[in-house]
Amino acid sequence: MTTFDPIIRLDNVSKCYLNGVLALQSVSLTINPGEFVFLVGPSGSGKSTLLRLLLRDERVTTGRIFVAGHNLLRIQPGAIPQFRRRIGVVFQDYKLLPRLTAFENVAFALRVHGFHDARAIRERTIAVLELVGLRAQADRYPATLSGGEQQRVSVARALVTGPDMLLADEPTGNLDPDNALAIAELLDQINTFGTTVVVATHNRDLVDKFRRRVLQLDQGKLVRDEESGGYTLALAATGDSLGESTLPLDGRRPLTLPEGSR
């Protein structure tokens, strides 16, 4: 693959679960490196299924799927951990380890991914906690952090390995509007570093505010693929530009974190 190839490509992908539910039907799409995409659609429309296929947590039933240079139908099981290292994942319920501090949760992700040098792990973990605005909370346990702070730790954990792509499934689902906006701005900032970001969401306000590419699913079918879209097509058609990203989009620069030795 050259750098001009899409980072995600689905050709006619369908997913039928073992219970017979057809969760995705003939979905074709491409996402290029560096894009920011909102994935919307009603509950049960297939958003999480699509994210799980991208992670190779689930296999497609028919069709072809390519992610980060891998044909996911052909990828060998032994190559999957290495493949997943290139993808950061953020969930609605944070999934932090309760007995580890914020620092340890992030550092743990580095160890799992094969980093061993203690000093490099420390520097990198601190740099990422700094990036998400949680340097001062590094030694706190998840139970002592607010929901917004816990989600920022989980974003830090997803970022710390320097992934090409960040997949977020309802990352603001448990957050109040201010914290939801803060997380969305963080994801937007990460995208300005060049990381591809795909966010499944029901958060109408954020989709309408950020005006990014919108992929909409309905009953497993891709029914809309719109640049600078709103949460619904009707809103987009009004031409109403409800605010722009509050972050400057110029000056895209690489995410500079200390290199870790493995």
Binding site for Mg ion (CB under 5 A): 47-48
Given 25, 36, 40, 47, the residue binding ligand ATP (CB under 6 A): 47
CB 55 → ligand ATP: shortest distance, Å?
Answer: 13
Which part of the chain contacts ligand ATP (CB under 6 A), choosing from 19-27, 72-80, 154-162, 226-234?
A: 19-27
Establish if 151 lies at the interface with ligand ATP (CB under 6 A): no
Residue 173 touching ligand ATP (CB under 6 A): no
Look at phi and psi of residue 3 and say left if phi exceeds 0, alpha if psi is from -120 to 50, else beta: alpha
Is residue 180 helix, strand or coil? helix
Which x/- pattern, by CB under 6 A, does the window 24-43 give for ligand ATP?
-----------------x-x
The verdict on 46 binding ligand ATP (CB under 6 A) reads yes
In terms of Cβ atoms closer than 10 Å to its own Cβ (0-12, 13-18, 19+), residue 4 is exposed
Cβ nearer to ligand ATP, comparing 23 with 138: 23
49 binds, among Mg ion, ligand ATP, none (CB under 5 to 8 A by kind): ligand ATP
Please choose which of ligand ATP, Mg ion, none residue 23 contacts, taking the beta carbon within 5 to 8 angstroms, the exact cut-off set by kind: ligand ATP
Q: Which range in 3-11, 16-24, 104-112, 132-140 contacts ligand ATP by CB under 6 A?
A: 16-24
Alpha-carbon torsion angle 161, 167, 172, 173, nearest 10: -130
State CA 259 to chain mean position distance. Answer: 22
CA 96 to each of CA 6, 33, 61, 100, 137: distance values in angstroms, whole numbers, following the listed order: 31, 28, 31, 8, 14
Identify residues 194-233 at the interface with ligand ATP (CB under 6 A): none
Distance between CA 190 and CA 258 in Å, rounded?
16
DSSP 54-120: HHTSS--SEEEEEETTEETTT--GGGHHHHHTTEEEEETT----TTS-HHHHHHHHHHHTT---HHH
Residue from 35, 40, 48, 167 in contact with ligand ATP (CB under 6 A): 48
Distances (CA, A) of 222 to 46, 53, 72, 177, 235: 9, 15, 20, 28, 18
Q: Shortest gap between Cβ of 177 and Mg ion (angstroms)? A: 20
HSE of 19 in the Cβ direction (CA atoms, 13 Å)? 2
Residues 6+ away with beta carbon under 8 Å from 237: none
Nearest approach in angstroms of CB 14 to ligand ATP is: 12
The minimum distance between CB 219 and ligand ATP, in angstroms, equals 9
Which of Mg ion, ligand ATP, none does residue 63 bind to, with CB < 5 to 8 Å depending on kind? none
Verify binding: residue 49, ligand ATP, rule CB under 6 A: yes
Q: Which stretch binds ligand ATP (CB under 6 A): 18-26, 97-105, 185-193, 241-249?
A: 18-26
Residues that bind ligand ATP (CB under 6 A): 17, 19, 21, 23, 41, 43-49
